[in-house]
Structure 1
Amino acid sequence: MESSQQQDQKQPSSIGQAIKQQVLKAWQPVPTINSTIILFAILSVYFLSMGIVLNVYSGEINQQSFRYDAYCQGYPVCEFPIALDTDYKAPIYFYYQLDNFYQNQRRYITSKSVEQLSGQQGLGVGDLSTCYPVITNGQMGKNLSINATPLSSNDPAIPCGLIAQSYFNDTFNITYEVNDEVTNVTVSNEGIAWPTDLGLYANTNISQQWLNVTDERFIVWMRVAAMPNFRKLWGIINQDLQQGRYTIVIENNYNSSAYGGKKFIVFSTTNQFGGKNEFLSVAYICVGVASSLVTIAFCLKKYFSRVDHKKL
């Protein structure tokens, strides 16, 4: 009795044997002309409807961009006049845009210290090889900390690396005039960074840092862009802006002419699908049209096949 049970345990199961012998039954769909027509008809309806919806929603988004580097060239501070051509409802997203800046270069992307940015203390120059070629305060070109404490040129720069060195440091102050009274527009830098990124940054020692690494504008800059022309969020305006003329006082610190670039500021609203994105709606519509053409082709094929069959 025991020997027969042991033999039964040694025998592989039918499923296991079928897997090893690769003889499991498989279901393979056999497409027919009717199922193909139904499939492509569903795809065409879905993509066309989504494309139209996205296009309508994208058209409702207000967005304007203004190039200011040529206007402010040679001036450390300049007053840049703009005109909003429509009313903007809060929240309004205020971006800066850089053209011809390649943040996707391999050496640039890796030039930072994750340990340093996370607040780890006691890191010396020898521990920051990933920040090459910008490791020390001297290489970073900084001699004062955030609280104006002198920095040694041979000490590690906090933060170090090429990404931190090229940090976008232009500032913007938006004002408008009503009844001969100048009013400031508050641009908040809270909530502009990804929530997942906020926990990755921590200060080590303010008296040894040339920059506050928990500043959300710095955190946004550290998430490198994939393309040479990109926008990054500088702040959020939590008040409505009326159509009209505004003045932006710009501290023109960032040198874009060194790499042949351009600088813009962008005002934009959003909707349930995010910011203005005409490409996505066009892509959906193109796929929907292509699916419709395939559906029509198969319908014609089915029709002529029936005609030929009747003739026979």
Structure 2
Amino acid sequence: MMDDVSASAAGSSSGSGDRRNSKRPKYSRFTQQELPACKPILTPLWVISLFTLVGIIFIPIGLASLLASNDVVEIVDRYETACVPPSMINDKVGYIQNPAISKACARVLKVPKDMDKPIYVYYQLDNFYQNHRRYVKSRNDKQLRDASKAYETSGCDPEKTTVDGTPIVPCGLIAWSLFNDTYSFTHGNGESLIVNKKDISWKSDRDHKFGSDVYPKNFQNGALIGGGKLDSKKPLSKQEDLIVWMRTAALPTFRKLYGRIEMDLKENDIITVNLENNYNTYSFGGKKKLVLSTTSWLGGKNDFLGIAYLSVGGLCFFLATAFTVLYLVTPRKLGDPSFLSWNRNSGIQ
């Protein structure tokens, strides 16, 4: 009898010792993922209905997007090669770097369809990597916002100061490489088309990123000129070409807004463009294009969104049809949901 008691006592003490030494966490419905949750069972009817619903929603959106994109009238004219004099066609870099050679160039555009105002004028650059890390970082936002921070040039290498150490405002490679081709437009009847350059930049940029008391200083005064010059009598918040340029693009091919033409153009109208081909894209094999475009409720011309919606909607319809045929031809008996582990456990409790 004494042996049994001692044995049971020893067993209980060893059991309690095992529990104390165990690394098993305390039971919790949270840690064991047993909290109430939605656990849907995807039956053939649910899957077919879901794919059909997605197709019904996506295909009309895709069609509407494509129709809106097709309503946009766009004129694209590549001119960087056409504006090089024949005698300099084999030395384009020498042509663009020689200030003695006139950069004036005339282009003739024909309007393919009626273009309702406003007509947006863009310049497009190809093979220009504004997203390069060192290029993107070459600016100082404090200097752009506050006149008292004119000496803040950190991060602006290599365009931070002049030879004598005077700070450049605005400093950095982005401002230094400002696009400086210019365009003027004449209608076929000799009437000038005015390009409105007001409010072409983001209002948030004008109000918060570029100060109304910050004026250009020592800009493009070095031996190597990168791009356009700025009016030293206008604050940076009013120099919208600079503001547009300094919102860097994510891709090597991009468009930036140059202005708006507030006049309707009719089909087959002839537009003469007098431009100054100043910007050097020849050194890095870049391309320059002038773009005139209308807009729709969806924005500019872009077929990708409509094609993407139509592709997804069409794929969903195809899968719904395929699953329907498969279910009708070779039906499969569904299992009893009551045998699922979570249903079985809840029944036991």
The TM tier, using the shorter chain, reads 0.7 to 0.9
Could you list the per-position Cα deviations for residues 33-78 of structure 1 after superposition, in whole angstroms to 9, with x for gaps in the alignment? 1011111001111111111111111111101100111122244222
| Matched residue SS, 2:125 | strand
- Tell me whether 1:233 sits opposite 2:244 in the alignment: no
C-alpha RMSD of matched pairs (Å)? 2.0
Contact 2:120 2:293 in 1 (8 A): yes
- Name the structure 1 match of 2:118: 91
| Shift of residue 137, structure 1, vs aligned partner | 3.8
Query: Which residue type is aligned with residue 58 of structure 1?
Result: S
TM-score, scaled to structure 1: 0.82
The reply on whether 1:119 has 2:146 as its aligned counterpart is yes
Conserved 8 A contact 1:117-1:203: no
Q: Deviations over 1:225-260 (max 9, x none)?
A: 111111111111111122321111112221111111
Equivalences for 1:163-178 in 2 at 5 Å? 163-178=174-189
Displacement of 1:196 after TM fit?
2.3
For 1:289-300, what aligned pairs fall within 5 Å after superposition? 289-300=314-325
CA distance in 1, matches of 2:56, 2:134: 46
- Separation in 2, partners of 1:256, 1:65: 18
Q: Percent identity?
A: 37
Partner of 1:5: none
The residue number in structure 2 matching 1:40 is 51
Task: Judge conservation of contact 1:97–1:266 (CA < 8 Å) in 2.
Answer: yes
Residue 94 (structure 1) shift: 0.5
In the other structure, the counterpart of 2:67 is 56
Structure 2 equivalent of residue 286 of structure 1: 311
Find the residue that maps to 1:206 and give its secondary structure.
Answer: coil
* 2:89 corresponds to: none
Counterpart residue number, 1:196:
204
Which residue matches 1:12?
Answer: none
Q: Deviations over 1:15-34 (max 9, x none)?
A: xx755775422221111110
Using the TM superposition, give the Cα deviation of residue 207 of structure 1 relative to its aligned residue in structure 2, in angstroms.
6.5
Secondary structure of the corresponding residue to residue 217 of structure 1: helix
Aligned to 1:132: 157
Cα gap change, 1:117 to 1:206, in 2 (>3 Å): closer
Letter of the aligned partner of 2:318 in structure 1?
L
Which residue of 1 is the match for residue 106 of structure 2? 79
Q: Hey, what's the Cα distance between the residues in 1 that align with 2:106 and 2:274? A: 4
- Following the alignment from structure 2 to structure 1, what is the Cα–Cα distance between the partners of residues 32 and 259? 63
Q: Secondary structure at the match of 1:283?
A: helix
Aligned residues: 273
Q: Which runs of 4+ in 1 moved over 6 A?
A: none
Structure 2 SS opposite 1:69: coil
Instruction: From 192, 197, 211, give the equivalent of 1:184.
Output: 192
Structure-2 residue corresponding to 1:258: 283
CA distance in structure 2 between the aligned counterparts of 1:158 and 1:204, rounded to whole angstroms: 12
> Offset of 1:208 from its aligned partner?
2.6
Q: 1:208 to 1:27 in 2, by over 3 A?
A: same
TM-superposed deviation, 1:203: 4.5
Structure-1 separation of matches of 2:299 and 2:153: 38
Q: Residue 148 of structure 1 corresponds to which residue in structure 2?
A: none
SS at match of 1:274: coil
Higher-Rg structure is 2
Q: Deviations over 1:185-214 (max 9, x none)?
A: 111112221222222111545373633522
SS at match of 1:208: coil
Counterpart CA distance in 2 for 1:206 and 1:21 is 65
Contact 1:121 1:204 in 2 (8 A): no
Task: Kindly provide the amino acid, as one letter, of the partner of residue 215 in structure 2.
Answer: I
